[in-house]
Amino acid sequence: MQLWLRHLANTTNLLPNASVQLIDNSYDVTISSALVNTLALLDMRVIGLIGAGSSAATKQTSILSNSRFVPQCDGASSSPDLSVKDDYPRFFRTLPNDNLQALAIYDFVVSMGWRRLAIISDSEPYGAGLLRAFEDIAYRSSDVQVVLLQSFASETIGNSSGWIPMFQKIRDVNAFIILIFAVQERVPTLLETAKKEGMLDGDKYAWIGSDAMLRPQSLVAPGLITVFPTNGTGYASAVYQSIWKERSGDINTTSKALSLYAPYFAGCLELFVRGFDRYLATTPNTNMADLAAGKYNERFPSPAVMFNFPEVYAPMGRISLDPETGDPSSSYDIFNVQTVGGTAKFVRVGTWLAMARSILIDSPIYYGSEASTTKPADDINLADYTTIIPMNSALGQTAIILNLLAMVLIAFAIAFFVAKGDETLLRKSA
C-alpha cells in the first residue's frame, strides 16, 4: 500500500493540497489484537481504516469504526455477513463476497457432471460462510447431493492425526469429489495428511478448494482444483505486480513476495483517496482539516456510493460496488495444480463467467499423482468390483454346480406348493 500511495502521488492530481499519511498498525490476525489496534488508530483520528484481513476480525473492528463514523475497507474479508448494511453500514470491500465464490464452485461441479460430493469446512466465518452459501444453492437447485459434511473447529486440528477420522468417513461413504472450505492456516496439514492416506494418488479423487487454497502450500496436491476472482488475476493485477517488482526496494519492507491479496488492499487505498477527493470537490465549505477533525461524520455518503469508481483501473482491476451491499462483482478463474517442467504450478484452465453463470474450460484438467485427464467418477463404478471367472476353472465349475443345485431346489419348492396347495394345514401355514 505504501508503494501504491507513492504511485498515486506521482501519476495523479488527487488531493492536490493534502499530505496523505498511511499508518501501518499491523498485528497478528486475532480478534483481540484487531480491536486493540483499531481503537488505537481511531484515537489518532484517522479518516479511513483498511483491514482487518480476516472476516472474524473485520466483523468486530467494523462495528468499532462505525461507532466513530469512520469508513472501513478490506481486501481479504469475504464473509457474506459483512454485506448486511444494517449491521456494517460503513464497510465496503474490494474482494467479492463468498456467495459469489460458492456459486462459481457449484456451477463448476455441475458442469463436470458430478452429483455426489463431500465437504470439509472449518467453523471460522470464512469456511462457515462459504458452506452456508453452497448448501443454500444446492438446496434450491437440487442438482448436487452432499453425502457427507465434515466441519471442524480450527483449534481442534493440531496435527495430521486430527484429519484421519475425517478421511476415513469420506472413504466409508464412497465420496470421491471433495470440497475444501478452510482458512489458509489449515491447508498444509490437511493436504499432507491426504497425501499420506493415499487420497491424492491416482485419479480416483477430485479435490476442489476455495480461493484460500491458491497458495504455494497447496502445490503438494497434484490435480487440486481451485478458483480465484478474475479481477485479481487480470491485466490490472499484472501491472501492479510489475510495479512492485520494479519499486519494492524504494519502500521500507523486507518482503519481496507479493501476497495474493495485496492488490485488493492497495485497491482499498486507491478508492479511499479517490473518494475523499470526490467528497471535497462536491461538498461546499469542506476541506481536509474538516476530514482530519472528523467533522464529516454522519454527513458522509454511503461508502458504496462515495468510493465507487467503476471506470477506474484499481490494482485489482475495474471495480463496481453494489450500492446495497458495498461488494464488488467478479468472474472467477479456475486453476489446476499441474507439473510443468518438473515443477508443480497452478495453471489456469478455465473461467466462470458471473453474468452468464457459465463455465469455459480452455485447457485440460489433470487429476491426481498420475496426471490423468480421466475425470473421476462421483460414485462407485460397479465394473471396478466385477470379477470374471473362467467357466473351465475349478472355481467356475463349482459355481456352475451350485447354481444348478439352487435351480433344482427352487423347482422342487414350486412343484411341492402346486401339488399340496389345497391342503388346509399348508394353506393356513402359508
**% of the chain exceeding 90 in pLDDT:** 39
C-alpha cell at 90: 460503513
Interatomic CA distance for residues 213 and 217, integer angstroms: 8
How far CA 178 is from CA of 166, 218, 377, 420, in Å, comes to: 12, 15, 12, 58
Q: Could you tell me the three cell numbers for 269?
A: 487505498
The pLDDT of 346-371, averaged and rounded, is 93
Mean pLDDT of 331-348: 93
pLDDT of residue 253: 46
pLDDT for 255 equals 46
CB-based contact 306:278 (threshold 8 Å) = yes
Q: Which residue has the cell 463467467?
A: 353
What are 70's three cell numbers? 469512520
Q: Which residue has the higher pLDDT, 30 or 68?
A: 68
Cβ atoms of 356 and 365 closer than 8 Å: no
Determine whether 245 is exposed, middle or buried from the number of CB atoms within 10 Å of its CB (0-12, 13-18, 19+). exposed
Between 405 and 161, residue with greater pLDDT: 405
Q: Which residue has the cell 488492499?
A: 265
CA distance 344 to 331: 25
Burial class (CB in 10 A: 0-12, 13-18, 19+), 189: middle
Task: Give the distance from CA 385 to its chain's centroid.
Answer: 35
Max mean pLDDT range (20-34, 97-111, 216-230, 309-323)? 97-111
Asked which of 28-37, 102-111, 305-314, 350-359 is least confident by mean pLDDT, the reply is 28-37
* Cα–Cα distance measured from residue 231 to residue 211, given in angstroms and rounded to the nearest whole number: 13
How many Å apart are CA 411 and CA 430, to the nearest integer?
18
Question: Mean pLDDT over all residues of the chain?
Answer: 84
Confidence of residue 366 (pLDDT cuts 50, 70, 90): very high
Tell me the longest C-alpha to C-alpha distance in the chain: 112
Q: Which residue from 330, 320, 311 is spatially nearest to 234, judged by alpha carbons? A: 330
Question: 256 or 39: which carries more pLDDT confidence?
Answer: 39
For residue 184, pLDDT over 80 is answered with no
Cell of 251: 519502500
Kindly report, residue by residue over 231-265, the tens digit of the pLDDT: 766 555 666 667 656 655 554 444 445 677 888 99
pLDDT digits (tens, 9 = 90+) for 284-319: 887 777 777 766 666 667 888 889 998 888 888 888
Provide the pLDDT for residue 254: 44
Grid cell 493540497 in the structure block, residue: 17
Query: Do 336 and 284 form a contact (C-beta atoms < 8 A)?
Result: no
- Give the amino acid at 363: S
Alpha helices in 186-287 (DSSP H): 187-196, 235-247, 262-282
Q: Is the pLDDT of residue 209 over 80?
A: yes
Amino acid, single-letter form, for residue 174: N
Rounded Cα distance between 247 and 250, Å, is: 5
Instruction: Read off the C-alpha cell for 319.
Output: 471495480
Cα Rg of the chain (Å, integer) = 29
pLDDT at position 425 over 70: no
Residues 6+ apart with CB under 8 A from 114: 144, 177, 206, 378
pLDDT at 424: 61
418-428 average pLDDT score: 63
Q: Worst-scoring range by mean pLDDT, 65-69, 144-148, 252-256?
A: 252-256
DSSP secondary structure string for all residues of 149-180: EEEE-GGG--SGGGTHHHHHHHHHTT--EEEE
Cell numbers that stand for 178 in this block: 471433495
pLDDT category, 274, cuts 50, 70, 90?
very high
| Bridge partner list, 293 | none
165, pLDDT greater than 70: yes
